[in-house]
Chains A and B, each alone.
Chain A
Amino acid sequence: MEQWKCKINGETVLLSGSPTERLRDVLFRTGYHSVRDSDDSEGFAGSDTIIFNGKLRYSNLILLYQAEDADIRTAESLLCGRELNYVQKAMVASGIVQSAYNAPAAALILTWLLEQYPSPTKAQIIDALSSIFIRDAGYEHYFLAVKLACELRDTGTFQSEIAPSFRPHLDIIGKPVGKIDGAALVSGEPVFVEDKVPENAWCLHVLRSPFASAYIKSIDTAEAEKLDGVAAVITAANCPDVYYMQAGQGNPEPSPHDRRLFNWKVRHVGDRVAGIVARTPEIADKAASLIKVEYEPTEAVYTVEEAMAENAPLVHNGPVRYNAGAPSDLEEYNTKAGDPREGDVIYQFPLHADIRKNIAASNKGHIGDLEKGFAEADAIIDRTYQTSQIQHTPLEPHVCYAHVENGRLVINASTQVPYHVRRIVSWVCGIPENKIHIIKERVGGGYGSKQDILVEDLTGYAAWITGKPVYYRNTREEEFIANSTRHPMRARVKMGGKKDGTITAIFMEVCANTGPYGNHCLTVPMNSCSKTLPLFKVDNMGYDLKVFYTNTPPAGAYQGYGTPKGTYGIMMAMAELAEKLGIDYKDMVMKNHVEEGYMLEILKGLGEGREGNVVPVGSCGLDEAIEKGCEMINWGHREESGDPDWKIGKGFAMIMQGSGLPGLDHAEAIAKLETDGTVILNSGGADLGTGLDTISAKIVCEILKVPMDRVSVISGDTDSCVFDTGAYASSGTFFSGNASLVATKKLKEKIIQEAALQMEEDPADLDVRAPGEVYSKKTGKSITYGELSHTAISGTGRGQMVAHGSFVTAASSVPYGAHFAQVAVNIKTGEIKVQKFFALQDAGTPINPEIALCQMYGAVMKSIGHSLYENMVLDKDGRCINANFTDYGVPMITEAPDEFKSVLIDVDDKDGPYGAKSISEIACNGAAPAIGMAIHDACGVWLRTWPMNSESLLKALGKI
């Protein structure tokens, strides 16, 4: 290896490597871990940004030899010892440091900006941030971060309000005080999976199918296995004969077990064919080229229409088994099974599937009398809305590092569901759970895709059978073709209403495309109904949903689950109905939306494959969100652009979600008083950048009256923590937060009891107070937690104070909101610009208000992307032809609305921890219908298909 001399962060450094290596890779290898890679040298996402001879550059697009004599700055230069610089502090304070995979790069960019322009304009900030893709927090609070940084630099403190505060009677809950892992994340500490991989790790490479549907006639791995440096080649021929599925859902899952690690039938372009464990990527590539696979291509289906057609090719056609509730005619059904290479499909319980018709799951139900409801209507709308296939595009792709230690399989994972990972790896590897240790590292973006066990299954197995330390990382292309995506969905909505605006009946017919495997196949489409119909105070409502297998890239969980798609359909339909009836849409919304106490009968059939809980509407800020939003956007007033080609319109949608799955989710935590009186909380919850650990820490602080720096949260580690179903279905704050609350309250009780003994007082006279002591209301005596704990663990003590909290509930704390859009539409060119977007949400008590606001901005930006730009395009052979950021079309800062506001509606909830409800998923639901309505308001056409782009608008306008 040659050496290249350059200056890095002011020091002369010799970088070693091949002259044509990417500078990014060399910097990372040399220890500059802040320089990350999100795009495999696409020059797009900016996680690899450095300052190179004074200018912002992508280090992936610089070769090592070009660094000779260069002056390089990385984000490591921003720290003074362990002290963050003023920009980093401002970023943490403003709430934008969330999953934070490229937060160090963003900090470097903003520091550079302020060095060039001490008081930058908005345009200069936008230009600086044009180089970086932010998926988690949106861009809006970056402007605030710059403002705060300037204030801190100039006055030594933050002057501006960062976020509103809630609950004045509480010390820290509802106050913007920053994220407990913010400093580590923004400074570029080695906190991600890739940072834990030792130099001697072997790599796992996956050979993938070029066909959308094919049997593997034969696979010859002999030449590959002979290569020096190849430890194993895993294929359908030698993998465990275990059927499972990759969705991280509660066990038993409402998803079919329809795959093995490798199958004899490949079902999408990019499906696994072989896994190669090799000493280096180069050897793995060589080995892959030596594997001889003979395919027998079969006909494929790509859309629900193709999948439901008579005599359609079948994606799965093997024997079906049930672990419970098998139908009586199963034996006969299985006589129709096809080629043995199809493999099995195992249902945990009936999902009303029929794989011989490509139906992976289905459900239908209703309340009231639909026929009567429609008969009473003065007007009926019957429309179909289509959504597209969308990728999560987390900045950190799916990665996994696994090794065997002391006879146990240890997996460093970037996951939302450590306990589901452990269970599924246990099934696949055939080893008991006590022999598996999952360590959830910081998650560099999940958005639902890391709710699925997409890489840990194979990486874990590869490490277990070879005994090698094994590292796997998806390429960006693999993120698109071999990962999970948002289910494309077709929602037909029939809605009837009276002239006075009363809706008399709603019927939703949903057809969803789950791709080749059934991850979340029932529950995602169910959400399109279960999180939309309960918004309506309508007596007659029904739904009929079917989910089809196809040969597209796989679908799975995605922030919002099926709700954004159902909301798009149902809100657009209501707007169309209002137009047909000649009444104001807002009046119709106000007349028909639910309010506190309204009994939600519709939920009975809308459980997760089981009977749902019928509950009344709880705390609900819907009215206030709608009224306030209408005021902000000046609803009813038509804006003029001054240019006859540009028309301006407005729209809004009411939205809801859930806060976990009552009756299904389960969370636990352990709170421990350490020997010096500090607290460690072991939470089963999985913080994926959303601030869940901070929520747990704040709960401890609030209950025990200790400052934040006296509390540490260890989470998502299956050895040291206790069970939690995971961070999905908006359950984090509500379930994991409540588990922390229960554990800490119990710990407080133990502290009081112990203090009573040590102080010889009645427990009833004792309470706790800041900065962490027990005091007697009767005698005035006090004892610090440190003193208390020290005595408790002495040779004569009663032991460490430890409390375990478990939380389950049948209660359902539903967040509500309303999202408003104002768009400008060019009727000549079809250009669409979101001018204003206002997101108003009732999150109960926002425990971390600044982080909550950023999650709303991030979710809305994603949804603007989904609505207007993003779309995976497949060619006629099922190959994704835009599996990269540039062609796929993620929104950057240039696509952000000109005026963008998130508003937290103050509602207290009786079941959430300190009144909190969920915040983030719901924020994905409003953009599509709000924008769709605004487009119609602007130019009179309804766009009923995602993405609503300029081409589709021109078509609708009859221009092309």
Chain B
Amino acid sequence: MKIYHPQTPLEAVMLRKENAASAVYLAGGTDDLRLGGSAEGKDLIDLNHLGMDKLEMNGDKLIIGARCTLQDIAESDLVPEFIREAARFCTSLARRNAATVGGNLGLRRDDSYLAAALTAADAVLVCMTPHGENEKKIGEYLQSTCKALIMSIVIDKNRTGWVKRFGNTAASHAAVIAAESCGIFALSVHGSGLAYGDSPEITETLTYTDDITGSAVYKKYLAKTAFTLRR
């Protein structure tokens, strides 16, 4: 196993491009280095020298560095409450201390703690590509196969909304995470992926599957019900 230590985001992206088949990014490591994680047998592009670990205000925008940990999010007063709640869906403090926001999004897990909440928050990702920086709506990024490196996540600082998780236990993989913020609805469904849009009808756009988190019927029911709950 080879370890690369890029010093800039661009260098990291170029390394990833050159070693597309053999290397993966390593941020917090809580997913990549876990049992059966994507780093198994791969070279590592260590992102831990790239900074990108600050929570900063810029006018009415909050800029979340991609290497901020879930615990940074959970405990920051700058972050809208429903996104902090989503970060706490990762119930283990030891894991939250290591897991990064960028890693949680970049892996495109369909039980991502943050994907639904940040998508509903209409977050914008600032990414590095081999051609330089660009910006992308988070929903578009998560539904694409884009390999750009997430550098930061930008949201409105006063964004309000809610997020709701369903899972067997608090530490199990989530079956369904639903979120809504300012008329944007988002859903992460295990085995199905992400859906978002401007109405709860997004539940109809997903193909639901039976898996360890529950039956397709169950998950579809939860997805639909989540948007009808009293708050």
- Contacts A19-B3, A895-B169, A960-B221 given; does A56 touch B215 at CB 8 Å: no
Is B146 positioned at the interface, with any CB of A under 8 Å from its CB?
Answer: no
> Given A41-B35, A643-B230, A57–B98 Cβ distance below 8 Å?
yes
Per the bound structure, the CA–CA distance linking A894 and B91 in Å amounts to 8
The answer for the CA separation of A477 and B121 in the assembled complex, in Å, is 39
User: What residue in chain A is nearest B29 (Cβ atoms)?
Assistant: A61
Interface string of A699-737 (1 = CB under 8 A from B): 000000000000000000000000000000000000000
Given A19-B3, A57-B97, A959-B221, A887 and B173 contact (CB-CB distance below 8 Å): yes
Q: Name the residue in B1, B215, B225 with the highest tally of chain A Cβ atoms < 10 Å from its Cβ.
A: B225
- Tell me how far the C-beta of A446 lies from the nearest C-beta in chain B, rounded to whole angstroms: 23
A889 touches B218 (CB 8 A): no
Which residues from chain A contact B218 at a C-beta distance below 8 Å? 950-951, 954, 960
A62 touches B225 (CB 8 A): no
In the complex, A49 has a CB within 8 A of chain B: yes
A680 within 8 A of B: no
Task: List, in ascending order, chain A residues with CB within 8 A of B222's CB.
Answer: 829
**Residues on A with beta carbons closer than 8 Å to the beta carbon of B35:** 39-43, 476, 884
Which of B3, B33, B171 meets A41, CB within 8 Å? B33
The residue in chain A whose Cβ has the minimal distance to the Cβ of B164 is A829
Q: Which of A42, A55, A66, A892 contacts B169 (CB 8 A)?
A: A892
Q: A890 in the interface, Cβ–Cβ < 8 Å?
A: yes
A884 vs B212: C-alpha distance when bound (angstroms): 12
Contact of B173 with A55 in the complex, beta carbons under 8 Å: no
Most buried by A among B94, B170, B212, B228: B94
Do B34 and A61 touch (CB < 8 A)? yes
Is there contact, CB below 8 Å, between A43 and B91? Answer: no
Q: Is the interface of A mostly helix, strand, loop or mixed?
A: loop
Q: Is the CB of A890 within 8 A of B29?
A: no
Which B-chain residue is minimally distant from A129 (CB atoms)?
A: B93
Contacts of A44 in B (CB 8 A): 92, 171
A675 at the interface (CB under 8 A from B): no
**Which of the four size classes fits the interface of chain A?**
35 or more
The answer to whether B94 and A131 have CB atoms under 8 Å apart is: yes
* Chain A, Cβ-Cβ closest to B97: A55
CB distance from A829 to the nearest CB of B (A): 6
Cα–Cα distance between A127 and B93 once the two chains are bound (Å): 6
Answer whether residue B172 sits at the interface, using C-beta atoms and an 8 A cutoff.
yes
Whether a CB of chain B sits under 8 angstroms from the CB of A20 is: yes
Do A61 and B33 form a contact, CB below 8 Å, given A56-B93, A887-B212? Answer: yes
Given contacts A42-B34, A61-B98, A887-B212, contact A829 B166 (CB under 8 A): yes
Residues on the B chain within 8 Å of A887, using CB = 172-173, 212
Report chain B residues within 8 Å CB of A101: none
Neighbouring B residues of A130 by C-beta, 8 Å: 91-93
A472 within 8 A of B: no
Q: In the complex, which residue of chain B has the Cβ closest to the Cβ of A113?
A: B93
What 1/0 mask marks residues of chain A from 20 to 51 whose CB sits below 8 Å from any chain B CB?
10000000000000000001111110100100
Does B217 sit at the interface, judged by CB under 8 A? yes
| B229 at interface, CB cutoff 8 A | yes
Complexed CA–CA distance, A312 and B214 (Å): 30
Chain B: minimal CB distance from A949 (Å): 7
Give the Cβ gap from B138 to chain A, nearest Cβ, in Å. 25
A881-B212, A892-B171 known; A950 and B1 CB under 8 Å? Answer: no
Contact residues in B for A645 (Cβ distance below 8 Å) = 229-230
The smallest beta-carbon distance between B4 and chain A, in angstroms, is 12
Interface string of B207-231 (1 = CB under 8 A from A): 0000010110110011001101110
**Residues in chain B near residue A895, CB distance under 8 A:** 169-170
A131 to B170, CA, bound (A): 12
Q: Is A894's CB under 8 angstroms from B170's CB?
A: yes
Secondary structure at chain B's binding surface: helix, strand, loop or mixed?
loop
- A758 interface residue per 8 A CB criterion: no
Distance in angstroms from A55 CB to nearest chain B CB is 4
Residue with the highest number of chain A CB atoms closer than 10 Å, among B30, B34, B169, B225: B169
Residues of A with C-beta under 8 A to B230: 643, 645
B48 interface hit (Cβ, 8 Å): yes
- A379 interface contact, C-beta 8 A: no
Q: Cβ of B169: which chain A residues have Cβ within 8 Å of it?
A: 869, 889-892, 894-895
Asked whether B95 lies within 8 Å of A58 as measured between CB atoms, the reply is: yes
B92 engages A131 (CB within 8 Å):
yes
Among A128, A828, A873, A884, the residue within 8 A (CB) of B225 is A828
Bound complex: CA A44 to CA B34 (Å): 10
CB-CB under 8 A from A242, the residues of chain B are: none
Q: Does A85 contact B (CB under 8 A)?
A: no
Cα separation A829 to B166 with both chains bound (whole Å): 9
Q: Which residues from chain A contact B93 at a C-beta distance below 8 Å?
A: 56, 127-128, 130-131
Contact indicator A894/B94 (Cβ below 8 Å): no
The 8 A CB mask of B147-177 against A (1 = contact, 0 = none) is 0000000000000000000101111110000
Nearest A residue (CB) for B71: A55
CB distance from B209 to the nearest CB of A (A): 13
Q: Is the CB of A894 within 8 A of B33?
A: no
Residues on A with beta carbons closer than 8 Å to the beta carbon of B94 = 43, 46, 49, 56-58, 131
- What residue in chain A is nearest B172 (Cβ atoms)? A889
Give every chain B residue within 8 A of A128 (Cβ-Cβ): 93
| B78, chain A: closest CB distance, angstroms | 20
Most-contacted residue by chain B among A40, A130, A954 (CB, 10 A) = A130
CB distance from A171 to the nearest CB of B (A): 43
Asked if residues B215 and A892 are in contact (CB atoms below 8 Å), the reply is: no
> A263-305 interface mask toward B, CB cutoff 8 Å, 1 = contact, 0 = none?
0000000000000000000000000000000000000000000
Asked if A65 is at the interface (CB within 8 A of a chain B CB), the reply is yes
**Chain B CB within 8 A of A218 CB:** no
- Is A131 touching B95 in the complex (CB atoms < 8 A)? yes
Indicate if the CB atoms of A20 and B172 lie closer than 8 Å: no
Does chain B have a CB within 8 A of A334?
no
Provide the bound-state CA to CA distance between A574 and B146, in Å. Answer: 59
Chain B proximity of A550: nearest CB distance (Å): 21
Q: Decide if B98 touches A20 in the complex (CB within 8 Å).
A: no
The 4 A-B residue pairs with the shortest CB-CB distance in the complex, in nearest-first order: A131-B94, A894-B170, A55-B97, A951-B218
**Which residues from chain B sit less than 8 Å from chain A, CB to CB?**
1, 3, 29-30, 33-35, 44, 48, 71, 91-95, 97-98, 166, 168-173, 212, 214-215, 217-218, 221-222, 225-226, 228-230
What are 21 of the A-B contact pairs (CB < 8 Å)?
A20-B3, A20-B44, A40-B35, A41-B33, A43-B30, A43-B35, A44-B171, A56-B94, A57-B97, A57-B98, A58-B95, A61-B95, A63-B33, A130-B91, A886-B173, A887-B172, A887-B212, A889-B169, A894-B170, A951-B215, A960-B215
Other 12 A-B pairs with CB < 8 A, given A55-B97, A131-B94: A56-B94, A58-B94, A66-B48, A130-B92, A829-B166, A869-B172, A881-B212, A882-B212, A885-B171, A889-B168, A894-B91, A951-B218
A residues at B contact (CB < 8 Å): 19-20, 39-44, 46, 49, 55-58, 60-63, 65-66, 127-128, 130-131, 476, 643, 645, 828-829, 831, 869, 873, 881-882, 884-887, 889-892, 894-895, 949-951, 954, 959-960
